Chain A
Amino acid sequence: MSIDTVKEKKLLITLVGPPNSGKTTLFNLLSGKKHKTVNYPGATIEYSISSFLEQYGINANLMDSPGIISLIPASPDEKVTIDNLYIHPEFGKPDLIIVTADASQLSRHLLLARQIIDSGFKTIVVLTMNDLLAEKSFSIDDKELSVLLNCEIIKFDPRKSDGINTLIDIIKSNLNGDTKTINKRVRITDDDILCIYREIEVIEKHVLIDLNKDNHEDPRVAKANRELVIAGAGSMIKLPDKLTVNIDKILLHKYWGLFIFIFVMSLMFTSIFWLASPVMGLVDDSIQALGNLVTDTFGNYWYSDLISKGIIGGFGVVLVFLPQILILFFVLGILEDSGYLARGAMIIDRPLSMLGLNGRSFVPMLSGFACAIPAIMAARTIQNKRERYLTIFIIPLMSCSARIPVYGLLLAFLFPGKYFLSGLILSLIYVTGVIISLIVAGIINRYKKTFLKFEDNSSFIMELPVYRVPKITNVIKNTYSNAVQYLQKAGPTIITFSLIIWLLTYFPNNAPDTISKENGNTASISKLIESERISNSYAAQIGKTIEPVMRPLGLDWRVGVSLIATFAAREVFVSSLALMFKVTETDDNMSATLIKEMKNAKISGTNEYLFTTATSAGLIVFFMLALQCISTIAITKKETGGWRIPILQLIIYTGSAYLLAFVTVNGLRFIGIN
């Protein structure tokens, strides 16, 4: 090995903290632009690692860790988190641990800090939410706490970020000199936790300063008073945030709570669709314009087709969902930062637990409406394995944004000009998706011994954070990193499949030479060449092979090919249908032309109309249920650690999609609707 490749090992600082202690906000504040998401080896937990912002001048890696409340693992995933905290296989032992703790609930949040200190790590405790404590007219004597805990303490609110330089100085001084920590894994039992809590309670009495009293009294009297005040029943410090309790009287009201919850969720979805659709249209149009520009510039050759349809088209498919995903994560971020999301999980826990799910399934299910990939990853927060797998199992039934263009086309075909009715049916499709997912969960839960063979304790304990005005910059930063994750995870797959489908639809490229002689107009020539090429392509051959499967649904090989293409990404259906029906109009209204073509299309070799009310409705039903997304299958395999769940999903969902589409088509025909 040459000298050059031996890199000096960077110091490692790990951020640890209970949920809602401001840990992620602190991470966002300290970390530089380059985030790296890494897996904890052996588990599906991801965390971010980053260098410090350059201006701070700290040459070390900063690692975020999932929120934990103690060093005793409650689930296999949590065990890996904690093992990797002690010593990480790739980055080694942390040279410094920064523990965040909510000052307004010191006695709870010091538990973790105390365990970390006892394990022998070099530790800095960052006390956050000091403003909340001040509202209760208390303050913390940080010097005293530092002595009692035997570690550095700093009061710092990452939401406000003033005083960051003091924190940076403390970090720097702790990194200088001897950074070797002699840590040992302490075995912690229930009794130990009770002991630690008792100690913390004593510490708390010593460090809490009552701001109302201490100012005017002799310090010694004040200290004696302190202990009295804290010990007294109904002490202010033991009371939760008053405003939060009052808001909860409404938002967590036994009946109103559920009502408001449903209202908030509907509002959220409506806003996602309203806000995203113009942007999505814009993205779609620009991608198409760019593709046309390429064809116009390079002429009608295979490489221009590859660039315009295969590559630019592929990127377009990836980008067209970005607005929705951004808006969904932004709204979710606002709800989370304000403190409402945890309430949502609490409100919905009971109904979901009846179906074998958990209140914690709620956020992943919600994310499933944008894209199943981040949603399935979000299911990691569910500790119980059976509930986690069940959540992952039903997420593909949430109508993801990829299906919107398909529904949009089919609804525009079924109800031309009737926007209100189309919108209503679209909402109905969404609601039906949720209902079906709940039915599926219920059925699987009933036969859980056959499907999901895990027996572990189902529980739901969750801290409800104080209501706060969301910090927008924080929400934006999280939205951004989620969007980047989506692009990294889904992007390559979608583009690869887009290229494969392009290959299948372009080659073997036998366009008859005769066409050019028969027609004068160059535009119509290239259109005819293209449609000839497709009907002779490998894709068409595959489509014709599977036509017997499509016929019961009243569809022919062209729709079959489009359905195969949807495995890259569902919305490819629309563009590949456009290819199949020879819609090569370069004007701005592709879908209007496509709808016109669809109206006239007849099943090849017969006089039967292809797209009727019945077959279109059947297609909608098919898209609601079928699992036709390679990326979803891949991520499910990864998250469940095997092929069992994704293959079950593929068989059950695609099978029942076919069956129900068949029933829909023939049922509608039977009652005279064709």
Chain B
Amino acid sequence: MTVADLNSGQRAIIKDIDFSHPSSNRVVEYGFTPGQELQVLNKSIFNDPLSVSLRGALIAIRKNDARCIEVILANEH
């Protein structure tokens, strides 16, 4: 499962980054690192790009770039 598969409002924890993806460098630089919790907040028209809350910041990211971020769903509380 990747960030691109998450619905609006879903929280997840980053499991791994697919370093074969051409955008992986950028994604890591923006702070998407394994272990971090994130939440998809909004989706733009046509469901792309997504706005993601990460490390206290909001980041807009295209679905295609988000595909290199592998996640597991966080437990809802």
Contacts and interface: CB of A to CB of B under 8 A. Distances in A.
Contact of B62 (A238, A252, A254, A459): A459
Contacts of B51: 248, 252, 346, 464
Given A74-B26, A459-B23, A108 B55 contact: yes
6 smallest beta-carbon distances between A and B, as pairs: A457-B22, A346-B60, A252-B42, A464-B58, A460-B62, A108-B31
Interface of B: 17, 19, 22-31, 33-34, 37, 41-49, 51, 53-62, 64-65, 74, 77
Most B-side CB within 10 Å, residue of A70, A136, A342: A70
Contacts of B56: 104-105, 107-108, 136, 237-240
A87 B51 CA distance: 37
Contacts of A345: 60
Given A190-B24, A197-B33, A462 B60 contact: yes
B72 to A, nearest CB: 14
Contacts, number: 142
B61 A254 contact: no
Contact of A194 (B23, B28, B42, B49): B28
Interface string A454-493: 0001111111101000000000000000000000000000
Nearest to A69: B29
B64 A459 contact: yes
Given A245-B41, A350-B49, A463 B29 contact: no
A461 B26 CA distance: 8
A23 B45 CA distance: 32
Given A104-B56, A248-B51, A349-B62, A461 B45 contact: no
**Chain A interface, DSSP helix/strand/loop, else mixed:** helix
**Chain B interface, DSSP helix/strand/loop, else mixed:** mixed
Interface of A: 69-70, 72, 74, 102, 104-105, 107-108, 111, 136, 190, 193-194, 197-198, 233-234, 237-240, 244-245, 248-249, 252-255, 257-258, 342-343, 345-347, 349-351, 353, 359, 457-464, 466
A351 B47 CA distance: 11
A198 B31 CA distance: 11
Contacts of B43: 254
A213 to B, nearest CB: 19
Given A460-B60, A463-B57, A464-B60, A255 B45 contact: yes
Most B-side CB within 10 Å, residue of A104, A342, A461, A466: A461
Given A238-B55, A463-B59, A351 B45 contact: yes
Given A111-B29, A190-B28, A239 B53 contact: yes
A460 B49 contact: yes
Contacts of B44: 252, 254, 257-258, 346-347, 349-350
